[in-house]
Amino acid sequence: MATTTELERLKREFLEYTEIERGRSLKTVENYDHYLTRFLGFAKVKDPKNITQDLIREFRLWLNRQGTRERSSYSGENTLKKKTQNYYLIALRAFLKYLAKRGEKVISPEVIELAKVGERQIDLITHEELLRLLEVPDTATLQGLRDKAIVETLFSTGLRVSELCSLPRDINLKSDEFSVRGKGEKVRVVFLSDESKDAIKKYLEKRKDMDDALFVNESEEPTRLTSRSVERIIKKLAIKAGISKRVTPHVVRHMFATDLLSNGADLRSVQMLLGHANIATTQIYTHVTDKALRDTHKKFHSRGNNS
């Protein structure tokens, strides 16, 4: 019979398999480790076959009550979000699938159903607010030139903030396109607008450092910007532009997608530009961009249109 140490070893081998053979990012592996460690800490089982459906049900109940107030265990107040709970279940399903592939006697991963979650809400700003955000950087300074280049590039390409931070300084500005390696190490092509190319060119012309990164901080020895730094930059620009909503690099990515769809781009193309593995992820934008539905409502839903 396997011991707890043996189960931990299997977990470690699964994480190595996920990183090396599945090619998942280190962040994904780190998250899987966190979720599975919490499950094993709760389950206290010594053998994979002891991971039963009843045990998983108890774990789901435990997850659902995490953070609740003792005075109201069933109130649902301050519990883990359903989406977060699903992350634990997804990691556990992947682990069970790996164990089954190794010939371990475990329950089928298919018995673990994910919790139903509400439709995802998209954070958006208006087109006018977007224009203010793009124009607010003070391009008389190196910092302003950099910030202008950042927001123009985000809106032109729809890059994730981590992808933006990984861009090299020697990007080819003579071309309208370049390749970027995104989630799951998948490579896709993104495109630069004339405005973003012009902003990047002006920023690089004023740079005096020799760092290889496209976007760097303002220290005496500049280094590559982190995702957190870019988030702070966008937040400051939004405040300066008089935008009261919470604005992040991901909001600019949302605006990139909705702008394309509102102007007639097909969903499959937008999926490829965003680097979404599943088109269902891209479909969250359609309910805010379907001009045809708005036109239909305007044309037929009118008090004065009954003649």
List the one residue out of 32, 38, 34 whose CA is nearest residue 17: 32
297 belongs to the catalytic site: no
Q: Is 298 a catalytic residue?
A: no
Q: Does the active-site annotation cover 250?
A: yes
CA–CA distance, 186 with 180 (Å, rounded to integer): 8
Helix axes 249-262, 267-274, angle to 10 degrees: 160
Catalytic residue among 183, 207, 224, 235: 183
Measured between alpha carbons, how far is 46 from 55 in angstroms, rounded to an integer? Answer: 13
For residues 275 and 173, give the distance between their C-alpha atoms in angstroms, rounded to a whole number.
Answer: 22
Is beta strand 187-191 parallel, antiparallel or unpaired with respect to 177-181? antiparallel
What the block records as the tokens of 151 is 């927001």
- Cα–Cα distance measured from residue 73 to residue 65, given in angstroms and rounded to the nearest whole number: 7
Any catalytic annotation for residue 160? Answer: yes
Check 160, 197, 203, 254 and give the catalytic one: 160
To the query of whether residue 301 is one of the catalytic residues in this protein, the response is no
Instruction: Say which residues have a Cβ less than 8 Å from residue 32's Cβ, sequence separation at least 6.
Output: 14, 15, 18, 91, 94, 95
- Active-site residue among 93, 148, 253, 254? 253
3-class secondary-structure state, position 185: helix
CA distances from 153 to 15, 129, 163, 215, 249 (A): 35, 17, 11, 11, 11
Give catalytic residues, as residue numbers: 160, 183, 250, 253, 276, 285
